[in-house]
Each structure stands twice: as C-alpha cells, then as structure tokens.
Chain A
C-alpha cells in the first residue's frame, strides 16, 4: 500500500515539476543566446492563465476535438507514471513496460492528429500529416534503442532495466553508447524540438506540432501544453535514469529518496543544458531532411543492437 502511495507521490511530483524543467530549458536557452530570460516559473503562470481563460471552438469541431486534450494529458501522465523518477520498483512501474509506454505516447499522438483534422482547415491536416510521418519514423528507432537495453537487461520493465544498470556497476557497453545517442535524437524529434520542429514559431510552412493545436485555446490548450512539457520530461528522465541511474533510490528510506530527488534534479539540469546547446548550434531542418535524420538515428540504434549481439553476448 505504501508502495502505491509512493508511486502516486512520485507521479504527482513528475507532473508538477514538468513545467519547471521546461522553464529551466527556456531560461538556459535565453542565457545561451544572450537574451533576457523569463523566470523559472513562467510556464506555471502561462498554464494558470490559460486554465482561467474561456474556450473558443471552431464551428466544425466535434467531440473528438474536445476530448483530445484530456486523452493526451492522461496518456502522458500514464507514461510519466511508469518511468522511475526517484525510486525503483514502485508498483506503477509494473502497470506498463517500455513498449506500453511507447503505446501511450502513440495513443496521445493519434488523438492529437485526429484533432488536427477535425476542424477541416489546411493547417490541421498539414500538421497531422507531418506529425504522423515523423512519429511513424521515430517509433521504430525508439523501440530499437529500448530493445538494445531490454536485451542486455533481459527485461522491458523500466525499473528492472534501471536497477540492472544500477547494480551492474560501471560496465562500459558500446551498445549503450549507440543507444544513448539514438535515443537522444529520437527524443528531440518526438518532443518537437529543433531541428525537427520549432515550438517557438508559428511559421505556416514549418510548424508541425503547433499546426495541430492551432485551434486550441483556454484550458484545452493548457492541458496540451502541459502534456507536452511532461512528455519532454519523460524522455529526459528516461535517458537520465537508464544510462546514468546512479543516485536513484532502490529502497524507500527518506535519505535515499532525498538523494534520489537530488540526483534526478542534477541530471535533468545537465541534460537541459545539453539540449539547449544542441538546439542553439542546430538549425531547423526542411521537412524532407527529417527522414535522413531519423534514418541516421535508426542506424545508430541498429548498430547498438548488433554490437550487443556480436560483442557483448557472443559468448553464451
């Protein structure tokens, strides 16, 4: 029972701190580009403002359009719930393994794309089409990277996988290296960051994610924005805890938990900085360069898989 409580707390923490992470990234980015930075808590303010505002719906919007924000939010929260943030072996992590997690995100994307087409404008369709294309290409890469880990940890259960790397001690696995890079590239693509998509702009020809949610306003928009922040954090927590699990609490004593919180906070700040650097040096790609980008990511993950098979488990 205590486990479930812990899990709930962790999940809430995850959801609550997601805007903070987003704020951190924005802030660092501004700093990196010599711009005046908004406060860390700006995302919270935006969300509360949006939540307070009323909703404007397009005439052709059907119930799909209105249900989508809730579905997207829930699926993202579910995803967050199964990712070990500060503690391992929480009961929620048994609800779904990493494949299901991908499934959650896919469900969210499915509805988001439908919502984009629901209005019947050109933008919505455009956004959905591109989103599904990118998603379709990104999903196998994601799974390949995860499979690399899953096969060396011989589990698809996230917390099991994490504890495998944690207790395996410091083993240098070439496959993990490839997987890491692959996963980061996918993360960038999936969360709609530069060079795939630019969350900051509404330029008609380039936008993907924004094109789908163009018609949203008020609380719907708030939910969607929040969901995308959570999604971003899910990916980065995933990266952080799988490839550098150290510090995560495998027992539930206050000290270890505190340590866990501290550890994940540090990792995320670090990763945030990395992402910002990446986004600052990169330029937005043309849509039809994306396949090459993801193809390269796939190649990396494939290499990871093969190195695992050839170099690491050749023996038995």
Chain B
C-alpha cells in the first residue's frame, strides 16, 4: 500500500525512521569526536520519538516506557557520559582522517540496498504498518558495523557499537512492537554496563598505550615472525 493511504502518524513515523537512517550516515561521515557524539545523541532522540509514535499508533502503552527508556539512555545519559569522557581524556578536539570517505558512504548506501533486499521476504510477511522500517533498522545495524570498521578512535568505535544497539532497538520496536519488558530491561541494563566498561577501558588504554588509537592494538597476532621460531618438524 502506498504512502498516501497511511495516516499522518504513520507517515511521520516513517519520516523519523528515515531520519534515523540519515543520522547513521551523518555519523559515518563525521570525523570529529564531539559532533559525532551529538549525532549519536540525535539518533537516540529520533529513535525515542519514533518509538513513541509507534506506541501511539499501535496502542502499545508499554512502548511509551521503552521510548522513555531509550530517550533517557541513548539520547541523554550515554552521550553525556561519552562527552565527559572525551573531555576528561582531552580528545574532544581531535578529529581523524578516514581513508576514502566517499567510498565509505557509497558502501553505506549499498548496505541499505542490501538490507532491503535481505529483509524483503520478512517485509512481505508482516502486516504491521511499520514493516517497511525493518530494512531501515537492519541498515542501521550494518552501518554501525561499517562505522566501527572505518574508524581508528576507540570512542568512535564505541559510538558505532552503540548505534548498532540503536538499530536493534529500532528493529525490536518496528518489527514486533517491542520485546517483552523483562528483555527490554535486560538489554538496557547490558547497554548501560557496557558504556561504563567502555569508559573504564578508555582509561586503561590510555595508561597502557597512552593513546586511544585502536591501530596501536596489534601486538597479539600470528603473522610471520612466528615462523622464525617454528622449529623444523622433525
């Protein structure tokens, strides 16, 4: 059914979905830390709003709760923590150079197409009005991974990780009107702990390799210097 047949709220919901996807691309393109964090916060906020809309449309009151949860966590708390960390680690002015930024963005676009293609069978099954957004959520997940792959700064990787979480959250909301509450809570708890731990790790990294550049983390590997020690078989 075309967009026109949908009522306004649905249309708005789809709009927000599109915006969420857009923020993912923004993050993908954003090279400076603080704006990156802000973009992430925006994504969280948009996500929360979209969830609230879904709640309103589909009359699932418990979704309001998860919307609130998402907002508090993903739009306020986590960005705030990350920002503070960035400041305390004095990396909030740093920016990093991405190799072939254009290629990365094109790849991201390709991922969107791919995820649409993959989720097509699912979409055809669903009769929820929100079904088209499953592709979007999966795209957000994949884009998050792409972000992690393309960045060298630990903070950026964390944000990528979080945006994957966002994608999942969004998927849960739009595909199935949210998971059972207990699961939602569990996930939220895990995410929170994860962020805290990430914070701990920033400092640990800082003190061990005094940098947050994950490229420096390459001591543990099996490439060729092992060969010299490898004694002849017999």
Q: Do the two chains touch directly in the complex (Cβ atoms below 8 Å apart)?
A: no
